C-alpha cells in the first residue's frame, strides 16, 4: 500500500493550491457576502483542465484519475466551498453520469462544452417531498409521439438557475417505487422549463441553488439518459460519486480551519504570550489535524477503489459521513480558537462553519450514510 502521491499528482496539487491562493481565496469573502456566482473563476479553471478532470481527452477532458479529482476538490474546497460544490456537480454528477450512461451522440454533444466551460451542468433529483426518499419523486415523464412530456418540480438544485444542461429524473409510470424512474437531459431554454433561485441560505451563498418547474416540457426521445427504468440506478451511481466529491471538499474545509487556526494562534497574544502555547488551544488544533488526515485517507481509499473499478458505495458513504461531521467539528473549534473574532466575518472561520453544515445534509444526510454503512455490514436494508 503506497501512501505517496506520484509526481503528476504532486504537480497537480501544487498547481491547484497556487490557483486557489491566487484566484479563489481573495474574492471568497465578498462572493459569499453578496451571493455572487463565481462565473469568472470557473472560466479560469477550464484551461487548467479542472472542469473535466475525469473526462477522457477525446471529449476535451484531462483524463485524470479519482485521486487527482480528490486533490482538485480538496484544494478548491480549501478556498471556497461554494465553488467546490459547483465543481463537484459538474464533475461527479453530470459529466461522469454522461460518460457512464450516455450515448455516443450525447457524449459528443455535451462533454466538450462541459469540459471547456462553455456549458454548466446540474443534477435534478430532489423534490419538495422527495429528499432522502428519492424513489418517491413525483415529477412525471409521459411518452408522446414526438418525445417525452415532463411535468413536476425540483428543489435545492445546485446551479439549477445557471445550468445550460440538466440531468432530470422523472417517473414514467404512476406506479410507486424506483423501477419506473428515468433520467432525461434537458437544456436551458426548453419551452415549459423555468427556474427560481433560492435565497437566504445559511452557507454556500455564492453557489446558485434553485427550484425547477416543468410544465408540459417536451423533450425528444433521444434526450433520455440510459434506458427507461434505469433512472434510479443512474441516480445511485451518481450519488456514490457525489458523496466522494463532498468528502474531498470537506478535507479542504478542515485544512483551511487548521491553517487559519495555526496562523491566528501564533499571532494572538494573551497573558503576555501567544495563545499557541496554551494546552487548550493545542488540543483543539490537534483534533482538527487528526480529523483532516483521517478524512483524507478515507477519501483516498474510496478513490483507489473507484480507480480499480471496485464497488465502493459503503466506502464512499464512510468517507462522506466522517469527513462532513469532522468538517463541522473543525470549523466549530476554529471559531473557538479565534474567540469573538471567529464569530464575525473579519476572519473566514465563520464561513467555514456555515458551509460545512450543509455537507452533513446534501448528497444524503449523515443519518442516511449510517444506514447505508449499516446495510453493508448487516445485509439488511433499512429503507426501500
Nearest-5° angle of CA 141, CA 147, CA 148?
5
Task: Please tell me whether residue 257 adopts helix, strand or coil conformation.
Answer: helix
Instruction: Confirm if 335 and 350 have CB atoms less than 8 A apart.
Output: yes
DSSP 59: G
Question: Which residue from 346, 263, 259, 246 is spatially nearest to 302, judged by alpha carbons?
Answer: 246
Instruction: Confirm if 306 and 312 have CB atoms less than 8 A apart.
Output: yes
Helices and strands (H and E) in the chain: how many: 12, 10
Taking the C-alpha atoms of residue 28 and residue 205, their distance in angstroms, rounded to an integer, is 10
- Give me the residues paired with residue 127 across strands: 130
Nearest-5° angle of CA 68, CA 71, CA 72?
90
Instruction: Confirm if 237 and 76 have CB atoms less than 8 A apart.
Output: no
Q: How far apart are the first and last CA of the chain?
A: 37
Dihedral Cα 256, 77, 239, 62, nearest 10 deg: -140
Please say if 30 is a catalytic residue: no
User: Which residue in 75, 127, 325, 363 is the catalytic one?
Assistant: 363
Buried b (16+ CB within 10 A) or exposed e, 305-333: bbeeeeebbbbbbbbbbbbbbbbbbbbbb
Taking the C-alpha atoms of residue 61 and residue 303, their distance in angstroms, rounded to an integer, is 18
Instruction: Give strand ranges (E) for the chain.
Output: 121-124, 140-144, 147-158, 165-171, 181-187, 193-197, 209-219, 224-225, 269-270, 273-274
Taking the C-alpha atoms of residue 39 and residue 250, their distance in angstroms, rounded to an integer, is 22
Phi, psi at 195, each rounded to 5°: -135, 160
Taking the C-alpha atoms of residue 18 and residue 75, their distance in angstroms, rounded to an integer, is 9
Alpha helices, DSSP H only, in 46-103? 66-79, 81-88, 96-101
List the catalytic residues.
363
Amino acid at each position: 500500500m503506497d501512501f505517496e502521491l506520484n509526481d503528476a499528482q504532486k504537480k497537480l496539487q501544487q498547481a491547484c493550491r497556487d490557483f486557489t491562493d491566487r484566484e479563489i481565496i481573495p474574492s471568497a469573502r465578498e462572493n459569499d457576502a453578496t451571493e455572487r456566482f463565481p462565473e469568472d473563476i470557473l472560466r479560469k479553471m477550464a484551461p487548467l483542465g479542472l472542469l473535466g478532470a475525469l473526462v477522457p481527452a477525446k471529449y476535451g477532458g484531462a483524463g485524470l484519475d479519482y485521486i487527482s479529482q480528490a486533490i482538485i476538490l480538496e484544494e478548491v474546497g480549501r478556498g471556497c466551498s461554494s465553488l467546490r460544490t459547483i465543481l463537484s456537480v459538474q464533475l461527479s454528477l453530470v459529466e461522469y453520469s454522461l460518460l457512464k450512461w450516455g450515448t455516443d451522440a450525447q457524449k459528443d454533444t455535451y462533454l466538450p462544452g462541459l469540459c471547456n466551460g462553455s456549458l454548466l451542468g446540474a443534477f435534478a433529483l430532489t423534490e419538495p417531498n422527495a429528499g432522502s426518499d428519492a424513489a418517491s419523486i413525483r415529477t412525471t415523464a409521459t411518452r408522446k409521439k414526438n418525445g417525452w412530456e415532463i411535468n413536476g418540480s425540483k428543489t435545492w438544485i445546485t446551479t439549477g438557475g445557471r445550468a445550460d444542461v440538466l440531468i432530470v429524473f422523472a417517473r414514467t409510470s404512476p406506479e410507486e417505487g424506483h423501477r419506473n424512474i428515468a433520467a432525461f437531459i434537458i437544456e436551458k431554454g426548453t419551452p415549459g422549463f423555468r427556474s427560481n433561485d433560492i435565497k437566504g441560505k445559511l452557507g454556500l451563498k455564492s453557489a446558485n441553488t434553485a427550484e425547477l418547474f416543468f410544465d408540459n416540457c417536451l423533450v425528444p426521445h433521444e434526450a433520455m439518459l440510459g434506458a427507461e427504468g434505469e433512472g434510479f440506478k443512474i441516480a445511485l451511481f451518481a450519488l456514490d460519486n457525489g458523496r466522494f466529491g463532498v468528502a474531498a471538499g470537506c478535507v479542504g474545509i478542515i485544512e483551511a480551519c487548521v491553517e487559519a487556526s495555526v496562523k491566528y494562534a501564533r499571532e494572538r497574544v494573551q497573558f503576555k504570550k501567544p495563545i499557541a502555547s496554551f494546552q487548550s488551544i493545542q488540543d483543539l488544533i490537534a483534533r482538527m489535524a487528526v480529523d483532516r488526515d483521517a478524512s483524507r485517507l478515507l477519501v483516498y481509499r474510496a478513490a483507489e477503489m473507484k480507480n480499480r473499478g471496485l464497488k465502493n458505495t459503503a466506502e464512499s458513504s464512510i468517507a462522506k459521513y466522517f469527513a462532513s461531521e469532522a468538517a463541522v467539528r473543525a470549523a466549530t473549534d476554529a471559531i473557538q480558537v479565534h474567540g469573538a473574532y471567529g464569530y464575525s466575518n473579519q476572519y473566514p472561520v465563520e464561513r467555514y462553519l456555515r458551509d460545512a453544515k450543509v455537507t452533513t445534509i446534501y448528497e444524503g444526510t449523515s443519518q442516511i450514510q449510517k444506514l447505508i454503512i449499516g446495510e453493508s455490514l448487516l445485509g439488511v436494508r433499512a429503507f426501500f
